[in-house]
Structure 1
Amino acid sequence: MSEDETTYVVVLNDEEQYSIWPADRELPAGWRTDGTRGTKSECLDHIGEVWTDMRPLSVRKQLESL
């Protein structure tokens, strides 16, 4: 099995949910990049550092208003 040499970007949607996407492909509708680019491992490590609250943004806002 060959090593994955794909370059990825970190993407997030309007609910601030993160994922990775191949850098050479057009982003799917509703997703934007956060500026991070690298190997799969590098991108996943970045997500692990920045995505500390897995709740969707709408849920976090709703709970803050209580």
Structure 2
Amino acid sequence: MDGEWTVLVNSEEQYGLFPSDLPPPAGWRSAGRVGTEAECVAFVDEQWTDMRPRSVRYARDAAS
């Protein structure tokens, strides 16, 4: 799909791409990156290095 995309992030620090001309769905906010699909995917690849949801990461860290 062509066009401009925005990178979104939710409260669990999971990332997703969404068309930039639409408002983010409930529970998602902008991660501050807008661009082509390839640019946004590259940004997500740099930022989202641990695929576990935030709650799982924090629970495991607290148990350690």
Q: Shared fold by TM > 0.5?
A: yes
2:34 aligned residue: 37
Structure 2 residue runs without a partner (length 5+): none
Which structure is larger by alpha-carbon Rg, 1 or 2?
1
2:47 aligned residue: 50
User: TM-score, normalized by length of structure 2?
Assistant: 0.94
Q: Give 1:31 shift.
A: 0.1
| Count of matched residue positions in the alignment of Structure 1 and Structure 2 | 63
Q: Give 1:61 shift.
A: 0.5
Name the % identity: 46
Structure 1 residue runs without a partner (length 5+): none
Instruction: Give CA deviations for 1:11-65 in whole Å, capped at 9, x if unaligned.
Output: 0100000000100001100000011010000000100011000000000000011
User: TM-score, normalized by length of structure 1?
Assistant: 0.92
Q: Runs ≥4 in structure 1, deviation > 6 angstroms?
A: none
